[in-house]
Amino acid sequence: MADPVPPPAPAPPVSYRLLGPPDLLHDLQRDFEEIGWRMSVVRWQAVVTAPPEDAGHAPPEWPAEVTLVSVAPQPHEEACAEHLGGAPLP
C-alpha cells in the first residue's frame, strides 16, 4: 500500500513594501485591516501582507502618491524587519 500523498504546503503570504505620505498610509492601514490584511506603518514606509487564504489574489492598486518598492513572498514580520527596520507595530 502506498503512503498517502501529503497535502500541498500553503502558499507563503505576499508582502508589499510601500513608500508614501504617512497620513495616506494610515488611511490605507484602516482599509486593509477591514478586509483582514495586515499593515504596519512607520513614518513614510509601510508593509501590507495578504493573509494565506487570499493566496493568488490580484495585486492591489495603489494611490498615485504611494510607491510600491517591492513584493516578496514572506511573512509580515520578516517583511517589516527588512523594510521598516523592526517588528510590526500594532
pLDDT (tens digit, 9 = 90+) per residue, 12-60? 899 999 999 999 999 999 999 999 999 999 999 999 999 888 878 889 9
In this prediction, residue 7 carries a pLDDT of 79
| Strand positions, DSSP E, 1-90 | 14-19, 38-42, 45-49, 67-73
In this prediction, residue 56 carries a pLDDT of 82
Report percent pLDDT > 90 for the chain: 70
Residue in the structure block whose three cell numbers are 510590526: 88
Domains of the chain: 14-55+62-83 (3.30.70)
Q: What cell numbers appear for 71 in the block?
A: 513584493
Q: Could you report the per-residue pLDDT of 59-71, keeping only the tens digit for each? A: 999 999 999 999 9
